[in-house]
């Protein structure tokens, strides 16, 4: 089926929805919402510049903040649904859920409001890139797995907050290109997300299932309670589809998959796509297990298995969760050529860098590391393995605009040497700021406009070690 919204082809049982609000039953027909285009109108402080896409619950517009011209994405509830109190509550629940989790790989929501005329909307960061569904399939595992690992980080954070996404699919995973750095991923649309709480009356109505059929776990198909393992299943379906170009189960197998008392196994991915290592194939098959008890217990375990399946044996001697808590600085890696492409001379601008002095846990002094990808949410510290464990709390002093500012952050991402080589960057860890001070936010805003044409400060001496 050719999707006019994302201009790509999808299997028949994929309900493409770039805004990604989908509400389906075990037997459902899609109903097109009335065409309402608010382009040119102003909602609060935001002018709607153009329509980006529409889904079952709302329409997303490119917006501009009228006072400073900043670009944002504005999601507007369909007017014909605004009179339904339960639908309004579900619409606003998405914004609240995103803010509760607050993770670098989950799209950020800035504002939520109602405009005159009963127009309900919330404002998100505007992302430049494409959904995963728009990328070429089959996708090389070396490019796919790092993106899946970032999705796992986001899911693990959501699950720790008691939130299950319930509608993961390629359209809801947005790949953002970060200048000369590696692509990063954002998880979109928590519109049908569910917190761990007693279900409401409408959620327990007979035959009602929330999600997208091709990606739903068997227990979700059957209307049973779900937890984070349902998201692991959906991410595994996504991985299978992107790695092989095919879904693990045909449309006619969905009911069988949900209701059969025995296992219903898909073809191993490495059989369909020889580029998929058998180890990765085995990881995906476990994550696609019919019984949730047979899948990976957490998204973090799934991430570790994905990375281990695509790294050389020497690189996986220590599982991610068991790595030591040290930081070892490394010099910057040279820009590496991407597969099948040779960059023109002078086309790559070195990324702007900053220096952070990280305090050691043992109290034996500080260690200096070079930092890149600074933004209001966090930064990337260039360092060598072994990395600090995920969710390790780091205290450090960051030099910005000639001023030292104290920071606290949490490690939320690992980029090992193999991933760094693929992405043309240094290995290291992504750090999310914890309660950044007003001064830190002000300094970040000050240095952000000067990314291009500003020479980076010198890198710390490569001989520095813990």
C-beta separation of 302 from 292 below 8 A: no
3-state helix, strand, coil in the chain (%, to 5): 30, 25, 45
SS3 253: helix
- Tell me whether strands 8-9 and 2-3 are parallel, antiparallel or unpaired: antiparallel
State the distance between the two ends of the chain, measured CA to CA, in whole angstroms.
56
Helix 228-244 crosses helix 141-160 at what angle (to 10 degrees)? 170
Q: Is the dihedral of CA 222, 225, 229, 235 positive or negative?
A: positive
Q: Which residue has the tokens 């936010």?
A: 441
Rounded alpha-carbon distances, angstroms, from residue 234 to 79, 239, 393:
31, 9, 30
Query: Catalytic residue at 9?
Result: no
**Alpha-carbon span 221 to 55, nearest angstrom:** 21
Identified catalytic residue from 17, 167, 189, 416: 167
C-beta separation of 243 from 144 below 8 A: yes
What tokens appear for 307 in the block?
């990375």
Q: Is the dihedral of CA 56, 95, 6, 156 positive or negative?
A: negative
SS3 369: strand
The CA angle 253-15-266, to the nearest 5 degrees, is 30
C-beta separation of 465 from 383 below 8 A: no
171-202 CB burial, b ≥16 within 10 A, e <16 = bbbbbeebebebbbbbbbbbbbbbeeeeeeee
**Alpha-carbon span 259 to 436, nearest angstrom:** 49
C-beta separation of 225 from 257 below 8 A: no
What tokens appear for 304 in the block?
């570790």
The CA angle 11-152-198, to the nearest 5 degrees, is 85
Active site amino acids: 167
């Amino acid at each position: 089926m050719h999707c006019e919204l994302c201009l790509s082809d999808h299997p028949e049982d994929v309900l493409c929805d770039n805004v990604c609000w989908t509400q389906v039953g075990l037997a459902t027909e899609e109903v097109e919402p009335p065409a309402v285009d608010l382009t040119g109108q102003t909602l609060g402080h935001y002018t709607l510049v153009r329509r980006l896409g529409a889904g079952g619950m709302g329409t997303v517009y490119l917006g501009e903040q009228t006072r400073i011209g900043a670009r944002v994405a504005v999601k507007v509830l369909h007017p014909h649904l605004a009179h339904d109190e339960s639908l309004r509550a579900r619409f606003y629940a998405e914004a609240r859920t995103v803010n509760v989790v607050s993770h670098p790989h989950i799209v950020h929501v800035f504002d939520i409001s109602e405009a005159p005329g009963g127009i309900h909307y919330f404002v998100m960061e505007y992302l430049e890139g494409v959904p995963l569904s728009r990328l070429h399939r089959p996708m090389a595992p070396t490019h796919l797995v790092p993106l899946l690992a970032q999705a796992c980080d986001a899911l693990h954070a959501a699950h720790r907050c008691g939130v299950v996404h319930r509608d993961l699919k390629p359209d809801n995973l947005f790949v953002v290109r970060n200048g000369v750095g590696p692509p990063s991923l954002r998880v979109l649309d928590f519109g049908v997300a569910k917190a761990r709480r007693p279900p409401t009356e409408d959620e327990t109505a007979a035959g009602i299932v929330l999600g997208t059929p091709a990606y739903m776990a068997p227990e979700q198909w059957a209307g049973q309670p779900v937890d984070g393992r349902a998201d692991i299943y959906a991410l595994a379906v996504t991985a299978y589809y992107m790695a092989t170009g095919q879904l693990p189960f045909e449309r006619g197998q969905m009911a069988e998959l949900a209701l059969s008392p025995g296992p219903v196994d898909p073809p191993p991915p490495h059989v369909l796509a020889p580029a998929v290592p058998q180890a990765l194939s085995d990881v995906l098959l476990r994550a696609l297990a019919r019984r949730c008890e047979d899948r990976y217990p957490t998204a973090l375990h799934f991430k570790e298995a994905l990375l281990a399946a695509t790294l050389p044996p020497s690189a996986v001697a220590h599982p991610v969760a068991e790595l030591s808590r040290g930081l070892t600085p490394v010099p910057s890696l040279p820009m590496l050529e991407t597969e099948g492409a040779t960059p023109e001379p002078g086309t790559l601008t070195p990324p702007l860098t900053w220096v952070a002095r990280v305090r050691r846990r043992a109290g034996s002094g500080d260690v200096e590391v070079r930092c890149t990808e600074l933004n209001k949410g966090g930064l990337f510290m260039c360092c060598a393995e072994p990395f600090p464990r995920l969710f390790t709390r780091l205290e450090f002093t960051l030099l910005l605009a000639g001023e030292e500012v104290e920071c606290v952050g949490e490690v939320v991402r690992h980029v090992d040497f193999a991933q760094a080589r693929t992405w043309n960057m240094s290995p290291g860890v992504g750090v999310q700021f914890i309660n950044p001070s007003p001064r830190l936010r002000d300094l970040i805003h000050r240095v952000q406009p000067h990314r291009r044409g500003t020479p980076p400060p010198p890198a710390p001496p490569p001989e520095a070690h813990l």
